[in-house]
């Protein structure tokens, strides 16, 4: 009888250790998801055209385009042909400029400078931004006092993401007396450059209702000589979600930039007296970025910190009235990313990152310290002005520094494959309603033999999120949002199964 009690006690201790290790795994999953969601939102925002070039002032098509009489007539009247080409360049009609430039080139005494302006404009209209910049620079060297070429050069540099040079050339145009519509457009360009290269802040705060704040599995029992049953129940709590982001893009030279970016987010249950279940996660990046009119490359070293309430610590007493969570783990790593714009409506994004995580508590560090690697691929396409669809694939793996524990493979190691889909929609018929729907499905395979089993642990993870907002409710850059999130983990190990629902109203802001 005494032996059976001792065996039951050992199993109970082992079960407790399993539960604690699964909490650590769940914390790792949440920090990876948080970093991925921030990254995904950032690159999708670029597809929305938030930093696109300002629209040119509308032109009177009848007044801005010359009346074409015929090639023979124009060749016989070089002055009329030259004026017609000049007006076509000012009007920005690619077909007309191409036709008149070909005709004008046949004149024995044509003006190479005017013809060069036509060639540069055609390159810009064909989205050959790098070639357009070089051609405009040649023209600017020929006649540095021509404000028309200086303006066109600055606009071409903006479209080719040479923001430092574009800002300098737009500033130089201020010494000329420009027509009011042109001066207004220059101002819009300069404001767009300031938005991209200045400090950009964003954030959000929202009350939240979490149905499983303690991350408890469904009730289960394990029979291994002694029957052990779980006693934990899901605990619901009301909390406060918060998020803060800041970034700064500093032009260095031509396409090269210094990029700084930091994000911090978390959930506090302080006002519900459940601070022991608080969590937070933050990352700060600083590195090099290269960008032109179609592509962006980034190489960003980063530091990250994972924080938690007392429930995640074995050595801390329960504390349900603490404002700031404790440091649970931290790490350093490197992220490499590439985005490619196929057209104004389609974009491909890929990223790879690698980091090493270090836990503060020795027992958890022994099992969970190690290297995390992930690869992310996503393709998005905008259909018309109001619909964007995207899909993604992610692969991630964890390799613990401690390969074996008690002569057995450390079963904290895993690799994971996941896919995601998303739909962003604006509803003009509903007066400015916006919706964002995302869903993801993944399979996580652990290495080694799971506790109380003869096989490795296999998890199937799914999630769904809905976000609604309305343009008419936005005020001073603050946009209220209604959010619902659901996630579920199915597993061949009953103690690893999880289910969680969240409903919250948020307020997002950026400036």
Work out the average pLDDT over 17-45: 56
Percent of the chain past pLDDT 90, that is, above it, reads 61
Q: At which residue do the structure tokens 């819009």 appear? A: 188
The per-residue pLDDT for range 42-62, each reduced to its tens digit, is 656 665 554 556 655 444 443
Identify the pLDDT of residue 347. Answer: 95
Work out the average pLDDT over 128-155: 94
Identify the pLDDT of residue 299. Answer: 98
Strands (E), 128-212: 200-210
Helix (H, G, I), strand (E, B) or coil at 267: strand
The per-residue pLDDT for range 387-399, each reduced to its tens digit, is 999 999 999 999 9
Work out the average pLDDT over 225-253: 89
Work out the average pLDDT over 1-12: 41
Identify the pLDDT of residue 51. Answer: 56
Q: Do residues 322 and 302 make contact, with C-beta atoms less than 8 angstroms apart?
A: no
Exposure of 194 in the CB half-sphere (CA atoms within 13 A): 9
The per-residue pLDDT for range 96-106, each reduced to its tens digit, is 888 888 888 88
**Out of 101-115, 180-194, 457-471, least confident range:** 101-115
By CB neighbour count within 10 A (0-12 exposed, 13-18 middle, 19+ buried), where does 160 fall?
A: buried
Q: What is the pTM of this model?
A: 0.82
Q: Do residues 240 and 261 make contact, with C-beta atoms less than 8 angstroms apart?
A: no
Total residues belonging to the chain: 511
Percent of the chain past pLDDT 70, that is, above it, reads 86
Task: Give the H or E element holding residue 156.
Answer: helix 147-159
> pLDDT band at residue 92, thresholds of 50, 70 and 90?
confident
The per-residue pLDDT for range 64-90, each reduced to its tens digit, is 444 546 777 777 777 888 888 888 888
Identify the pLDDT of residue 58. Answer: 42
Helix (H, G, I), strand (E, B) or coil at 300: strand
> pLDDT band at residue 41, thresholds of 50, 70 and 90?
low
Q: State the SS3 of 39-100.
A: HHHHHHHHHCCCCCCCCCCCCCHHHHCCCCCCHHHHHHCHHHHHHHHHHHHHHCCHHHHHHH
Q: Max CA-CA distance within the chain? A: 116
Identify the pLDDT of residue 479. Answer: 85
Nearest to 124 by CA among 139, 112, 109: 139
Triad 362, 364, 369: Cα angle to 5°: 95
The per-residue pLDDT for range 293-310, each reduced to its tens digit, is 899 999 999 999 999 999
Which are the contacts of 72, defined by CB distance < 8 A and separation ≥ 6? none
**Out of 43-47, 264-268, 312-316, least confident range:** 43-47
Average confidence score pLDDT of the chain: 86
Buried b (16+ CB within 10 A) or exposed e, 447-465: bbebbbeeebbbbebebeb
Q: Tell whether the model's pLDDT for residue 25 goes beyond 80.
A: no
Q: Do residues 340 and 289 make contact, with C-beta atoms less than 8 angstroms apart?
A: no
Q: Which two tokens stand for residue 355?
A: 């980091």
Q: At which residue do the structure tokens 């890929």 appear? A: 350
Report the 10 Å Cβ neighbour count for 286: 14
Distance separating alpha carbons of residues 341 and 292, to the nearest angstrom: 10
Q: Tell whether the model's pLDDT for residue 469 goes beyond 60.
A: yes
**Out of 33-42, 152-161, 431-440, least confident range:** 33-42
Task: Give the H or E element holding residue 321.
Answer: none
């Amino acid at each position: 009888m005494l032996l059976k009690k001792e065996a039951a006690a050992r199993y109970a201790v082992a079960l407790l250790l399993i539960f604690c290790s699964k909490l650590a795994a769940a914390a790792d999953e949440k920090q990876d998801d948080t970093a991925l969601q921030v990254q995904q939102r950032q690159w999708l925002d670029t597809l929305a055209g938030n930093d696109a070039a300002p629209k040119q002032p509308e032109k009177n098509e009848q007044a801005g385009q010359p009346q074409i009489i015929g090639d023979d007539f124009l060749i016989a009247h070089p002055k009329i042909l030259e004026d017609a080409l000049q007006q076509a360049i000012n009007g920005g009609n690619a077909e007309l400029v191409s036709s008149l430039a070909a005709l004008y080139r046949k004149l024995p005494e044509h003006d190479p400078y005017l013809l060069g302006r036509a060639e540069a404009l055609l390159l810009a209209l064909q989205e050959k931004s790098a070639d357009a910049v070089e051609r405009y620079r040649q023209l600017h060297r020929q006649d540095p006092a021509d404000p028309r070429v200086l303006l066109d050069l600055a606009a071409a540099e903006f479209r080719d993401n040479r923001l430092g040079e574009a800002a300098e050339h737009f500033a130089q145009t201020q010494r000329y007396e420009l027509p009011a519509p042109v001066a207004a457009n220059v101002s819009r360009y300069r404001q767009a450059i300031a938005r991209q290269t200045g400090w950009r802040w964003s954030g959000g705060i929202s009350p939240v209702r979490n149905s499983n704040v303690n991350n408890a599995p469904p009730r289960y029992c394990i029979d291994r000589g002694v029957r052990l049953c779980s006693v934990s129940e899901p605990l619901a709590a009301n909390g406060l979600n918060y998020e803060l982001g800041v970034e700064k893009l500093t032009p260095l030279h031509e396409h090269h930039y210094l990029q700084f970016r930091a994000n911090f987010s978390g959930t506090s249950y302080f006002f519900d007296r459940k601070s022991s279940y608080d969590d937070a996660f933050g990352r700060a990046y600083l590195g090099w970025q290269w960008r032109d009119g179609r592509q962006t490359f980034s190489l960003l070293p980063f530091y990250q910190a994972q924080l938690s309430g007392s429930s995640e610590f074995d050595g801390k007493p329960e504390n349900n009235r603490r404002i700031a969570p404790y440091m649970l783990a931290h790490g350093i790593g490197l992220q490499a990313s590439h985005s490619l714009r196929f057209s104004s409506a389609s974009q491909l994004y890929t990223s790879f990152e690698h980091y090493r995580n270090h836990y503060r508590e020795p027992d958890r560090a022994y099992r969970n310290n190690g290297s995390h690697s992930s690869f992310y691929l996503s393709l998005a396409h905008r259909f018309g002005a109001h619909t964007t669809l995207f899909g993604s694939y992610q692969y991630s793996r964890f390799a613990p520094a401690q390969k074996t524990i008690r002569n057995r493979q450390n079963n904290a190691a895993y690799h994971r494959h996941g896919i995601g889909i998303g739909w962003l929609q604006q509803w003009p018929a509903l007066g400015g309603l916006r919706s964002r729907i995302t869903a993801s499905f993944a399979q996580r395979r652990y290495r080694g033999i799971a506790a109380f089993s003869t096989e490795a642990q296999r998890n199937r993870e799914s999630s769904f999120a809905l976000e609604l907002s309305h343009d008419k409710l936005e005020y001073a850059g603050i946009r209220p949002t209604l959010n619902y999130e659901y996630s579920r983990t199915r597993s061949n190990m009953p103690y690893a199964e999880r289910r969680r629902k969240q409903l919250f109203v948020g307020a997002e802001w950026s400036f």
